Amino acid sequence: MEADIAVNSDNKETWSGGGAKPFGASYGKMMMWFFILSDALTFSGFLAAYGLTRFKFIDSWPIADEVFTHVPFFHGNYPMYYVAFMTFVLIVSSVTMVLAVDAGHKMQQKKVALYMFVTIIFGLIFVGSQAWEWKTFIKGSYGAVKTSDNKILQFVKADAKGNFHQVSLASFVDGHRVDGREQHSKKNGLWFEGEKTISQYSVTQVQQAFKNDPSLQIRSEQINLDTKQKVILSRDKSEEQLEKASQVVEGANLHVNEYGNPIFADFFFFITGFHGFHVFSGIVLNIIIFFNVILGTYEKRGHYEMVEKVGLYWHFVDLVWVFVFTFFYLV
């Protein structure tokens, strides 16, 4: 056998390149880098697809800082503050990871454990925030109406200065749903079929309420490319468009999206979800390594290179987020 293969396979070290270190990088570290490279290309593919779709719908794409305006425990309009906080959390967790790797080089077991622990906590804060962000996005903020030709109509009112502000359905539609339509559940319908949550109001109810309040106008999905603002329809045009309403939309999911084009929501769920899954696996890896550190595995091994390798992965998660943050929330 030995004649056929370059490295002796009887040697237990074979899988790690027989201890060979091309470019001074160990097998494990080099492979982590190549994995990161391939994963970076995957994420670029997703973001490029997002870019293509956005260019395709450049005159009607949702404006991100009108979509992500919520901060937990605060009411009001705070575009981007919360994502900025999340970005900061991830950067700080990268720093604690660097400190863990650094302590590993100095063979300070307790310090490595401490910094790993802090990194895990920051990671959990980040995924928790991401979950909250999803929940808020799915729930929606104002509610809108979808027309039979698949356009989203949002409701706005002008303030004293003539600036338009979006208003929620609940602020101008009175009371509860009046058309007698009920949520289909196992109790009142076919036991083997369920139904997604139906909207709070019926289409006719919204149309009626709109007619009763002349101060309301409709904001279309269309963007005026000169001002980069959504086009506000005149009262007449608004009524005309609202006639075509076919569905009341509250929140966002993979089929409808009260903020505009549903594919925006699809990309949001897919890209931030894929990233969130990376953060989650990073946390799992960190926890495993954390316990190894506590158990003294790397003290016995004589080096803390495993901490360095999961550290690379963890920094990569941060690196990807920097791009997701820019292309989803800023640009």
18 Cβ contact list (under 8 Å, min separation 6): 7, 8, 11
Could you give the CA distance from residue 316 to residue 106 in angstroms, rounded to a whole number? Answer: 24
Nearer to other proteins, 4 or 149 (CB): 149
Give the residue, chosen from 222, 266, 270, 305, that forms a contact with other proteins under the rule CB under 8 A. Answer: 222
Number of residues that bind other proteins (CB under 8 A): 61
Q: How many CA atoms lie within 13 A of 91 on its CB side?
A: 9
Please check whether residue 259 is in contact with residue 152, taking contact to mean a CB–CB distance below 8 angstroms. yes
Q: Which tokens sit at 33?
A: 């880098």
Phi, psi of 30 (to 5 degrees): -65, -40
Query: Which H or E run includes 42?
Result: helix 27-56
C-alpha torsion angle, residues 184, 186, 187, 189 (rounded to 10): 50
Pairing of β 164-166 and β 229-232? unpaired
**Using rule CB under 8 A, residue 235 touches other proteins:** no
Give the residue, chosen from 20, 58, 107, 131, that forms a contact with other proteins under the rule CB under 8 A. Answer: 58
* Binding piece for other proteins, criterion CB under 8 A, among 9-17, 97-105, 205-213, 256-264: 97-105
Please check whether residue 168 is in contact with residue 141, taking contact to mean a CB–CB distance below 8 angstroms. yes
**Using rule CB under 8 A, residue 138 touches other proteins:** no
Smallest gap from Cβ 318 to other proteins, in A, equals: 6
Smallest gap from Cβ 242 to other proteins, in A, equals: 15
**Using rule CB under 8 A, residue 270 touches other proteins:** no
Q: Is 302 left (phi over 0), alpha (psi -120 to 50) or beta?
A: left
**Using rule CB under 8 A, residue 24 touches other proteins:** yes
Smallest gap from Cβ 61 to other proteins, in A, equals: 10
User: E strands along the chain, which residues?
Assistant: 144-147, 152-158, 164-166, 216-224, 229-232, 245-249
Give pairs for 295-300: CB < 8 Å, separation 24+. 296/109, 298/104, 298/109, 298/112, 299/107, 299/109
Which residue type sits at 235?
R
**Using rule CB under 8 A, residue 124 touches other proteins:** no
**Using rule CB under 8 A, residue 46 touches other proteins:** no
Smallest gap from Cβ 315 to other proteins, in A, equals: 5
**Using rule CB under 8 A, residue 91 touches other proteins:** yes
Q: How many residues does the chain have?
A: 331
Smallest gap from Cβ 10 to other proteins, in A, equals: 29
Give the residue, chosen from 14, 16, 31, 92, that forms a contact with other proteins under the rule CB under 8 A. Answer: 92
Please check whether residue 277 is in contact with residue 126, taking contact to mean a CB–CB distance below 8 angstroms. no
**Using rule CB under 8 A, residue 88 touches other proteins:** yes
Contacts with other proteins, 282-311, as mask; x by CB under 8 A: -----------------------------x
Please check whether residue 59 is in contact with residue 225, taking contact to mean a CB–CB distance below 8 angstroms. yes
Give the residue, chosen from 17, 65, 111, 172, that forms a contact with other proteins under the rule CB under 8 A. Answer: 65
**Using rule CB under 8 A, residue 59 touches other proteins:** yes
Site for other proteins, rule CB under 8 A:
22-25, 30, 33-34, 36-37, 40-41, 44-45, 48-49, 51-59, 65, 79-81, 84, 87-88, 91-92, 94-95, 97-99, 102, 105-106, 149, 220, 222, 226-228, 231, 311-312, 315-316, 318-319, 322-323, 325-326, 329-331
